[in-house]
Amino acid sequence: MLCDGMTKQEKLAHSGRPSLARRVSRHAVAAFATLAVASGAAGCGYNEVIDKDEAVKASFAEVQSQYKRRADLVPNLVNIVKGAAAQEQETLTKVIEARAKATSVTVDASSIDDPQKLKQFEQAQGELSGALSRLLVVSEKYPDLKSQEGFRDLQSQLEGTENRITVARKRFIDSVADYNKTVQRFPTSIGASMRSKSVRPTFEGNPENEKAPEVKF
């Protein structure tokens, strides 16, 4: 027994245990370090990159949705034209083939970082646009076709869809531009690097084509 009332073993055990003040100090340092890291990540745009990334994905999903809406209108359009202008078989066939190609090329949110896939998707949709335009020009030669209620209904739906496609494409282009600025500019480029994010491709079509085509029947 030592003079302070503790055995030698108790004193040794007590001397090896960190004091309460030391333990609190270590916890405070760890908490401060965590806060510093979080603040640094926020300051370098880590969260902002997440927001921009999600905006690009959402805008591209809308582009896909509107192209699908248009593709869904094509079979009815082809059937109506076929009934009134069966002799335009070559034009009808090209529309059908272009639709098949456009619907077979899919680009989801995980693959829009691939310039080749995005270009392939855009080209396929452009071919369908061209085929539809030629079909609609041909339809001008058939007054009976233009007088059909079903045909006029398709006119309204197709006009609305083409306008939605134009708006959706512009939003996608704008969101990609905004995202690309964020991942390249300092200090948000640090946050982009932390998330392994880099510049994304965008639509490369002729700017003149961004104007919605006028659909006349």
In a domain, 127, yes or no: yes
Q: Is the peptide bond before 187 cis (omega within 30 degrees of 0)?
A: yes
Q: Residue 204: what residue type?
A: E
Arithmetic mean of pLDDT, 26-51: 57
pLDDT band at 176 (very low <50, low <70, confident <90, very high): very high
pLDDT above 90 for 77: yes
In a domain, 20, yes or no: no
Arithmetic mean of pLDDT, 189-207: 85
In a domain, 90, yes or no: yes
In a domain, 6, yes or no: no
More confident residue, 209 or 108: 108
Count how many Cα atoms sit within 13 Å of the Cα of residue 21 in the half-sphere of its side chain.
0
In a domain, 4, yes or no: no
DSSP state of 110: T
d(CA 111, CA 114) in angstroms, rounded, equals 6
How is residue 120 written in tokens?
Answer: 């392939």
Number of domains in the chain: 1
Sequence-distant (≥ 6) Cβ neighbours of residue 52 within 8 angstroms: 175, 178, 179, 182, 183
**pLDDT for 156:** 86
- Helix, strand and coil percent figures for the chain, each rounded to 5: 75, 0, 25
Give residue 179's domain range. Answer: 49-210
* CATH code of residue 152: 1.20.1440.20
d(CA 190, CA 160) in angstroms, rounded, equals 42
pLDDT above 70 for 206: no
In a domain, 215, yes or no: no
In a domain, 118, yes or no: yes
In a domain, 54, yes or no: yes
